[in-house]
Every structure is written in structure tokens, then in C-alpha cells.
Structure 1
Amino acid sequence: MDNGSKKDVMFARMREKKKEVKIVRRIVFAIALILLIAGLLGGRTVYKYITEGLQPLDPESETVVEIEIPIGSGLDSISAKLEENGIIKDARLFKYYAKFNNESNFQAGTYKLTKAMTPDELIQSLKSGKVYREPVFTMTIPEGLNLKEIAAVVQKRAGIPEEDFMEYVTNESNIDLLISKYPSLLSEEIKGENVKFALEGYLFPATYPFYEEKPTLSTIVGVMLEATAANVVPHLAYLQEQEKSVHWLLTFASLVEKEATAQSDREVIASVFFNRMKLNPEMPLQTDPTVAYAHQRHLTTTLYKDLEIDDPYNTYVYKGLPPGPIANAGKVSIDAVLDPEQTNYLFFIAGKDGQPHYAIDYQEHLENIANYLD
């Protein structure tokens, strides 16, 4: 590189540096001007807006929002994305704050952020390329649990008595409040006459981070409902087209979840239930987990006398789906109901070999029992 080229580069860098200095000065001047106006006019509203804008949007929120920061994103676009996703109140304030503190070199990547994070925590996360805020503890809710089983997990991890949890999720006033808060997810169907527990099947199985030692029941139930909504709401248009409800979907998915094993194909299991309801409407679903739910206790082996219970959840006695979910279904089971395999199967068993075995007719079903169960 000749001397002339070196000088050009040097002057270009100097111009860029001066430009950055001017920008910082403008930011400082703008903030000073706002504060001056606020002081002259007794502008408590302006001052309050600025101070609140630099506080966490919701200090108690534990809802994790996944945000993608593309390569080459500048502070303007990053600030705008944080505001669009409800992480900060005002993109301009966040941008000015970062500039004023001379923060830069933000990393591209996928971030899991919360409304409870301060501007400094957000900046550290974006600079380090990782979530800066660590949860106090996490709570894992496995697939296939019912409300009483979830209550036991909550007691173990959060220290809230099972009785308190069950009281909260069955309280009529709480249910009405939650229906109004999550209208796309919860409907009056969950309060049906034969539904045992309104929120059964609506608390999504996942691992949840909590950022306080003693989260409230409202917080715990809220994050689980939001997770369910995140997995169900994208399918609302399809459900409406099929003239089906969220309650129908979660009820159906709960049967698939309880019948499935680690090796089984949920799409095929879903097809068996569909076929029974569509191809042979007079044929009950006859799924053992609903019998256990009717009895409200675990059945190691379902006996003939167990099948006689007169309960709307007993799918050996009552045709079609039960009044509501019998457990919490995971995403795979929900997807299986939305997109089942196309088969002619009407029967299936889980063999001693751990594999599912399907049959088109009763004779083949009896052969599978003889070959894989006896």
C-alpha cells in the first residue's frame, strides 16, 4: 500500500471516529435536554417514562422468549427486535442507554430472554452470546402426567403443598380468570359437566426455568399455560377448518400420549382412534388409560371388573372421546393427532417385546395377543 492509500485509510478512520463522537454527543445532548425539559416543566411524566423504561418490563415474568439476532445486526435493529418481542418497553431508550455506556460488539445468535431482565443483563447476554441471567431452579414436567402427578412435582421442586396446587387449579374463580386471560386456549368446554378437572391436559410438559426462589402458583401455572398456547395456537386455523376445538385436540392427544411407548409410532396410534370413530362409530375406543383415569388411581393391570365402572371417561362403556384430557400431551402426540398416519387399523396392542402391533380386524388382533402377549 502506497503512502497516498495509507493516508486515505487514516483519514477515513478519523472521519468515522468523529462521526461516532458526534453521535454520542447527540445522545448525551438529547438525554440532557429531556431531563432539562422535565425539570423546567415539572415533567414527572417524562422523568417517570425514562426511569421506568430502563427497568425490567416485568420483574416477575419467567416466560422465556426466543429471539434470533442475525449476523450483521446493528444496535438499531437489535433494539427494535427486543421491543417487538416484548422484552423492553422502548427501543430508543435501550439504544441510547447502550450508546451512552459505550456498549457494542453484540453477538449474532439465538437468545432466550425474559421481560424480567434489566438493560445491563440484556446487554451482557447480547455481548457474550449466551443468556446472562441464570435461573434459581428448573422444574421438569414429563409427558403423560395428570394434574395430581404434576402437583407432586411442584411440591418437590417449588415447595408448594400438593393440596394448595390442586386447590388453585380447581378453584372456579381462578378458572374463570384464566379463561379470560387465555381465550385462544381455554374455553367453557373445560368447565363441562363431566370434566373432572378443568385444567387437566392444559399444563404443557417441559423444563421450566424459574428466576425466584418461591414463585407463586399463578406464575407456575401461567408459564405452563403459555407453553401449551405456544404449541396449540399455531394450529387454530386448521382446527377451525376441521370444525374441531382445542379441547378436542388435547383430549385426543392425551389418549395417544398415554398409549404410546418409547418405541411406538404415535401417528399410527392416532390413526387407530380416528378409524374407530370414523369408520366404525359404534365401536368404542377401549383404551385402558381412560379406565384408570375413571377410577382416579393407577392400575398396574386393567381387570375385567375395572372395565365395568360407569364413568364418562371409561371408553369401554362410553363411545368416542372422554369429556376431557386424561393427562398432559407432548408436542409429538399433539402433532400425531393433527397429522395421523393413513391406515385401516382398528386394533393395537403393546407387546411384551416393547413394540406396538396393529391389526385390521378382530381375528388378526386375537392373533397378535396370542403371539405377543400370552
Structure 2
Amino acid sequence: MSATPIYLDYNATTPLDERVLEAMLPFFKTHFANAGSAHLFGLSVREAVESAGEQLAGLIGASPDNILHTSGATESVNLALKGIHSAERNHIVTIATEHKAVLDTCVYLEQQGYRITVISAGKDGSVNEEDLLHAVTDETLCVCTMLANNETGVIHPIPRFSDIAHARGALMLCDATQAVGKIPVNVHELGVDLMPLSAHKFYGPKGSGALFISPGIRRKFSAQMHGGGHQKGLRSGTLNVPGIIGIGKAAEIAGTDMAGDSRRIGALRDQLEQELLSIQDTSRNGHPEQRLYNTTNICFPGVNADQLILALQHISVSSGSACTAATTYPSHVLKSMGLSDQDALSSIRFSLGRFTTGPEIEQTIGRLKLLISRFRG
């Protein structure tokens, strides 16, 4: 008889909350009309879509008019970076620990004539504000920094970064994919102009995401998808109604459950981390305090992370971003923080979530201690 799966990879994706599924199901079958249709059936579906937009907007402190529905954060990042342009500004500043969706898009833009500055992170994953101050110039179009890192959980001081960008007349793009639904996020308090996010990071459906676009730049934003003029001409295409209903419901649930999730999940993360750091020669990657309560990234020197992950069998953890997990290269995030290839390849990310239990954490601790002793011995 196989063991019950233990899932500790919530930063890669989350299971769909049953309450979200229940809200979505009618829009697959009985309420299937096109939200762009002018008949009463279509108008009723459009009303549901607008209600879901209000739910999502409420979670991030925005107006529904400033939310663009997308297929997920990767599309949102691409739309944001490719949709802003200026004849006078062709410089983008970003951080070496950003998600590949940002870094690879910047590589593409560099090939189109943009100048890209990539700032290194410190040993704890944080960014030196002086480095950012020196990097941003009067030619900078955009500063692009994530709110919370997907591999280490490190949280960046986005309001201060926004002030630095705006002081030079640049825009602030903040990838909040790992933060929305876990911690309070308010676009006005952050001071951001553009903010991508994904539903499947907070118990919503895959294939549903959004891009917040501030009112000040919406009229300057260039669409990347044409045909039909949907979403005020900014992203044409028939709306993914069940996905939008799902992200709205997931946002509503996150708003009510966030405080309780934070306390319970944070206590379990601390228990796991404390026990793992008690293993000889282990160390934590990332800032000890300025990070998400559900995430810990631990280095086990002398142990190959991929081999350890396979040996864990029914316990699901990660050696880096899910988008690059098929490669055998060391994490670019950990490398940018100064880790050697060997230590980066010996590091594992544990990300807990809403359905993680105490017995699962205890079982994981016991299994890891046994395996690490065996691998090192």
C-alpha cells in the first residue's frame, strides 16, 4: 500500500479550493454564454464576471476598471513589459533574483534595443537600495522587482523602490505572484503602476491571472493581442469566464482566511525549519525575517537535492522554481545570492499551504533526517 502524498510545494502551485470549484462549476455548463454577447444570457454572465473582478480588486485595493484578466502571471508580465514604451526612455532596471518570466522578457527586449540593468541581490536575498538608486536614471522606463521571491520567500520593500523609480519619472512594475493571497497587498500602499498575479498561487484555477494597470498609464498602454476589442481594447479574446469566476472566489476566500492561514502555516513552517536547521551543517537561504511565512529554503551540504527529492518519494518538495525544475542547472536565484554551484544544487525549497497538517510536518522531518544521515554516511 502506497503512502499518502504529502505536498510541500505550494509556491509551485496550490490545489483548487473546493469552495472555488463550487463557484466555477455552473459556468462550465449552465451559465456558459459568452460574456461579450448582447443578449440577456450573455449579459447575466458578464454581470458575474464583473462581480468576480470586484472580488479580486477588493483583495489588492484596486478598482475593477484597472484589472486586466489574463491567462496567468507570465502573460501579465509579458503584456506589462511589452505594453509600456517611450520615445525618450529605453532603460529597464530589474533584479537578478526575479522570476524567469521577467528576466527572459528583458532579454527579448534587449534584443529589440532596450538597455537592461540587472542588480545583484545580497547574501540574504535582499536588494541594496543604494544599488537601485545608482541604477535608475532619467532614461529609465521601468523598475521591475517582485514583491516576494518564489524560491526564498524574501519580501522586498516595494514602497521604497517605487519612490526611487517615481523620483526619476520611471514606472514601477511589481510581480506580486507569490504574495497575493498570502499577505496583505494594496497597490496604492505599494505605489506600483503595474502588478501581475496568478490565481493558481492562492487556491484558484490554473490558466487564470490578472494584470493591475494604474489609471495614470492605462491610456498609454499598448495592447499586445488584437481582434475584437475585448477588455477595452487592451487584451482581445473571449473571456475565460470559469477562470475569472475562480480567481474572484479565491480572492474573496483569501481575504477572509489570510490571518488564520498566516498564524497556522507560519507555526508549521517554523517547526519544520527549526528541526531541519538542527541537522549538522545545514543553513537557511534567504533573510530570516523579511520573507513569506510559508516558505523556507534549506541547504544540505554534501547532499544532491534532486536525489533527495526522488528519495522522499511521496513527499513533494522543490529544488527551485517549478518553471525551471526540468533542468539540472543550479538555481539562478541562489547563485545570485552568492551560493556556489554545489551548495545551490544541495538546496531544497519547502513551501507550506492551507491544507498542510502537523502530522505531515512531523513525518517530513523524520524522513529527511533519516535520508540525509544515510546520504552523508
TM-score by length of 1: 0.29
Query: Whose strand fraction is larger, Structure 1's or Structure 2's?
Result: 2
Query: Whose helix fraction is larger, Structure 1's or Structure 2's?
Result: 1
**Structure with more relative contact order (C-alpha pairs < 8 Å, separation 6 or more):** 2
TM-score by length of 2: 0.29
Looking at CA atoms only, which structure, 1 or 2, has the larger radius of gyration? 1
